[in-house]
């Protein structure tokens, strides 16, 4: 097993220096189960960040379903297959009747990108407001919604973006959300005034 120093060196070499880690002293996880994660030293952590709100780590039903499907067929949606139709049928049955179709994506980046394309299609406008200090994905469009990326990367889309401070009940108490709502309203007005128009808040 690599040491933390070696792991960080190898990450820079193999993944590139722009793949960030959490914390000044990165955590090296080796296994997970339910709501728990374990690091390389055997310490146990309650995971309040990753996929736990959905199904938990190593959920037996999910692992079995993935294994069963991988053992049967692994294709994309441009071929006919009952599995995807069955899944979307079950999924949309849990939502309001007006939500009767689904666009399936592989990543959050794709999901956010498609959502913003839909917002533009529905409104005819391109202005996007995002909270600062957030991450929305890796595509050319949504990567620029992370304020730290805007000055150095992208394809000149920054004129369509406005940022507001993310709600922070600890540092900036705003129990009724008035400060946040006013910030958003100010940016909507600016987008409308410059002719870009307001399409979406992320």
Alpha helices in the chain (DSSP H): 4-14, 60-72, 82-92, 108-123, 178-193
pLDDT in tens, 31-48: 999 999 999 999 999 998
pLDDT in tens, 128-158: 999 987 888 888 888 888 876 555 555 677 8
pLDDT in tens, 10-39: 999 999 887 878 888 899 999 999 999 999
Q: What are phi and psi of 44, to 5 degrees?
A: -105, 135
Concatenated DSSP letters of 108-125: HHHHHHHHHHHHHHHHS-
Domains of the chain: 1-72 (3.90.1150.10), 75-104 (no CATH), 108-201 (no CATH)
């Amino acid at each position: 097993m690599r040491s933390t120093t070696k792991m960080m060196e190898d990450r820079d070499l193999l993944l590139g220096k722009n793949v960030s880690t959490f914390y000044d002293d990165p955590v090296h996880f080796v296994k997970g189960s339910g709501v728990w994660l374990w690091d390389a030293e055997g310490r146990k952590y309650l995971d309040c960040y990753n996929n736990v709100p959905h199904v938990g780590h190593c959920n037996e039903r999910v692992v079995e379903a993935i294994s069963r499907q991988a053992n049967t067929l692994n294709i994309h949606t441009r071929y006919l297959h009952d599995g995807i139709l069955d899944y979307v049928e079950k999924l949309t049955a849990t939502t309001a009747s007006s939500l009767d179709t689904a666009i399936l994506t592989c990543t959050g980046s794709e999901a956010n990108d498609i959502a913003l394309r839909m917002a533009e299609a529905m409104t005819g406008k391109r202005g996007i407001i995002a909270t600062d200090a957030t991450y929305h994905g890796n595509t050319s469009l949504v990567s620029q919604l992370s304020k730290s990326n805007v000055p150095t990367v992208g394809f000149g889309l920054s004129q369509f973006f406005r940022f507001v401070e993310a709600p922070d009940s600890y540092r900036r108490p705003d129990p009724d959300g008035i400060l946040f709502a006013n910030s958003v309203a100010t940016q909507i007005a600016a987008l409308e005034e410059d002719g870009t128009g307001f399409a979406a808040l992320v």
